[in-house]
A and B are shown apart, each in its own frame.
Chain A
Amino acid sequence: QVQLQESAPGLVKPSGTLSLTCAVSGGSISSTKWWSWVRQPPGKGLEWIGEIYHSGSTNYNPSLKSRVSISVDKSKNQFSLKLNSVTAADTAMYYCAGKSYYGSGNFDYWGQGTLATVSS
């Protein structure tokens, strides 16, 4: 059974960079999945941030594209998110997820989520 576990970023200062890593266990990051990041601000709905395939190909939410970078480390079976120039609006629960490469674009696997708070 594939499991995903996000690292804990804790507190990030405004204008700083939010960095998260998602460790994949029970399966290979080189499988046919898009490895994704999704976030949920307090009291709001889910927002897709972006995704990466094990080849390194990426797709990003246009609304965040200028500030986001997602990378993959196949040797460690993990992938990472960097979000630059953060503000209080980036405070959210951040989830990593695995999305089917084929089919209806469904997110099969999810991590438990980690809270990132942007505050000075």
Chain B
Amino acid sequence: DIQMTQSPSSLSASVGDRVTITCRASQSISSYLNWYQHQPGKAPKLLIYAASSLQSGVPSRFSGSGSGTDFTLTISSLQPEDFATYYCQQGYSTPTFGGGTKVAIK
């Protein structure tokens, strides 16, 4: 299995802050990397697919970058509705997810 490692596991930020979350794969996965937002009691939501493509309907403050083994999710200006847990997922082989990054209010 390809292991996905996210960092940090949690962070505290204020509304308006720029937030960056990183995801590292245990081997090269090209651009087969997706990002999800998960809020308690809700279904996970696809934000970014293929490393950098914005899913339809997702605000443009979300962006993704990277290829190979290192990837980044950036929220350019954190909004109140963005407090959630974020997961990366590789689709190169048997799907695996990162451990998650919980974004909390500072």
Enumerate chain A interface residues (CB-CB to B < 8 A): 36, 45-48, 59, 61-62, 95, 97, 99-100, 103-108, 110-113
Residue of A nearest to B92 (CB): A105
Contact A104–B44 (Cβ < 8 Å): no
| CA gap between A6 and B31 in the complex, in Å | 31
Contact A45–B98 (Cβ < 8 Å): yes
| CA gap between A36 and B46 in the complex, in Å | 15
Interface of A is mostly: strand
CB of B60 closer than 8 Å to a CB of A: no
Interface of B is mostly: loop
CB distance from B4 to the nearest CB of A (A): 9
Known contacts: A95-B44, A110-B43. The answer to whether A105 contacts B34 by CB under 8 A is yes
| CA gap between A70 and B4 in the complex, in Å | 25
Contact B42–A112 (Cβ < 8 Å): yes
CB distance from B90 to the nearest CB of A (A): 8
Of the four ranges (under 10, 10 to 19, 20 to 34, 35 or more), the interface on chain B belongs to: 20 to 34
Q: A45-B87, A46-B100 are in contact. List 7 more A-B contacts (CB 8 A).
A: A45-B99, A95-B43, A95-B44, A103-B50, A103-B91, A104-B31, A107-B46
The contact of A46 among B45, B90, B97, by CB within 8 Å, is B97
Most chain B CB atoms below 10 A, which of A47, A110, A111 = A110
Known contacts: A45-B97, A46-B87, A62-B94. The answer to whether A110 contacts B45 by CB under 8 A is yes
CB-CB contacts below 8 Å: B37-78 with A = 41-46, 49-51, 55
List A contacts of B31 (CB < 8 A): 104
Contact A110–B33 (Cβ < 8 Å): no
List B contacts of A95 (CB < 8 A): 43-44
